[in-house]
Each structure stands twice: as C-alpha cells, then as structure tokens.
Amino acid sequence: MNRRADIDRAKGLAISLVVFGHIVARQDPAHVLWYPALRRAVYGFHMPFFFYLSGLVTWLAGHAGTPPAGWPGLIRARARRLLIPFAVMAFAITAGKLAAARFIHVDNPPQGLLGGLADTIWHPLASPAYSLWYLAVLFLLSVATPLLLAACRGRLWPVICIFAAFQFIPLPWHLYLAETGRYALFFGAGLAAGALGDRWTGWIDRWRWPLIAAFVTGFAFVALDGNVLPFNLRLVTLGLTAMPALHALVRFPCLSSARTLATLGRYSLMIYLFNTIFIGLAKGLLLLATGWNGTHFLPFAAVLMSAGLLGPVVLKRAVLRSVPVLDRMTE
C-alpha cells in the first residue's frame, strides 16, 4: 500500500489527541476547570478515530481479505508488529516505574515487577502500562477480521454488524476483551471506509462543513455537560461523528501541506509507545521544582505535550535508527 498523505495527517492529529489525554494520568490538578472538560470531550472520540484509521489502513493494505492459507503468516506478522512492542514496552514501563518511584513522583506505580506484568495482561485497568492497550486490541481485531470475513463469504456488512453488536455484549476486562468489544464498531467503520474508496473520500469532501459543524456541536456539548451521558453513549455518538469530520478536516486544502501533522503521523507508533515515559519523566522533574495547580498548569501542560510528542521523535532519530531491530519494531 502506498502511503496516503491524508492518512498520515489524520494519524498525526489522532496521536496528538492521545498525548493530550495522557498529560494527566490520575489526579487532576486543583483549580483547573478547562482541562478536565476538554479531556472528557477528547476521550469521547480520539480512540474511535484511531481505530477508524486502523480499520481503513487494514482494508487498504489488503489484510482484511487474507485467504485462510495466509492466516498463520498474518498472525505472525501482526504479532511482530503489535504484540512484541507491547511486551517490550510493558516490561520497560513497569521496571522503569519501579526504579523511578524511588526518586520522583510516578503515576500508577506497580507493586512489583511480576505483579505489574501480570496485571498488564490479566487485569488491564490495574496495569502500570495500561496506555499500551490499543496494541493488544488492534491485534485482536486485525486477526479476527479475515476470519469473520471468510465466515461471512466475503461480505463486509455482516462483519460490521458483528462488530457493532459487541457494543451491547458485556465482555470481561481480562485480555483486553472489554476494550476490544468497545472499539470494534469503529474499526469496522474504517473497514467500510476503505471498501468504499473514492466514494467515501468524495462524500466527506463534499459535506466537509456540515460534518465538521456536527462534530464541533457534539464536542462542545460533551465538554460543557458531557457527564449526563454514559461513557459508551458518548463514545458512539461523538466517535461516529468525529470520524468523517476529522478525516475531512485533514483533507482540507489549507492542511494539505501540513508537514507537522504528517511527520507526527509517520512517527505515531513511536509516539504511542514512548509518550507516557517522556511525559512521566518531565512531570516528575517539574514537580520537584513547582506545583501544577491553578495558573501553573497551562505552561506545565505545554511542556508535557512537547515532551510526549517530541521526545519519542528525537529518541527514534538519535538512537533507535542505529539499532536495526528496534528501528523495525517502532517503524
């Protein structure tokens, strides 16, 4: 599959939103009202948008239609791409938190190395590396899709209906099954967008402004008074609204040469894997010098955003590029 600039820009926007959501891991800063409101709205659509893009890429890359003879190879390839980075980073984050907790503030520290790693697999909500959950869920969805598509005789719409049905089935949190069910619908929407091809991109380009207006209205509602809606309902309504709107936004002519978003998109996996480490280090060091409550939080947040976005890019370019196995793992 040839790289598409609009997908790179969309991934750059999506990973920026992920980092924004990660700058506060647990306890909110005191006397800061704007960040919790914006984060509540961002959490209503940023991961649905990411899974939409993942489904779109899965279709365009041809993985969804892999025939049965190719399933073992696909599973191995997806495991190398997703599960190996998941395992390596889970170990690094857990061990790193144990070491750093002796000297600086650490969010969600593990009780021990083995216990932390066990939680990462079996009790994800207690995991010290919960931020890696997207990789596990994407692996499950990407290997399930060709199996389901074959079972449905190559028809995509029954697969999307199955994914949508998971929204109504209570699944256990173990092995990331609950998160898989929660986000399968959006991955399916990305598959559908890929199958529609130019018809989809033509439609979102024609209806760009109404789509963006609908999304902005929903975003404002959730930010201002979003707690009146259950999280899953927020996720479905705002998530489905965001997918065409944000994809249309990054295809807008004035953003067609937005190198910053495209660059972040190309480094999205690297940023996803390492952003919480750089944010945590920056936060721990800053908290040694000053607090982050009230008016201190805005510059604090700017530093954490910069650390989460730029730190992984610098690490990739300066260090990992010279280590082939790590370079391939984070490409």
Q: Is the pLDDT confidence value at 253 over 80?
A: no
Task: Provide the pLDDT for residue 231.
Answer: 83
Please state the domain extents for the chain.
26-257
* Longest CA–CA separation in the chain, Å: 61
Give the pLDDT band (50/70/90) at residue 255.
low
* Contact assessment for residue 123 and residue 174, using Cβ atoms and an 8 Å cutoff: yes
87: left (phi over 0), alpha (psi -120 to 50) or beta: alpha
Q: Is the pLDDT confidence value at 308 over 90?
A: yes
Give the pLDDT band (50/70/90) at residue 257.
low
The whole-model pTM stands at 0.92
What's the token pair of residue 238? 């705002």
For 133-167, how does the pLDDT look when each residue is reduced to its tens digit (9 = 90+)? 999 999 999 999 999 999 999 999 999 999 999 98
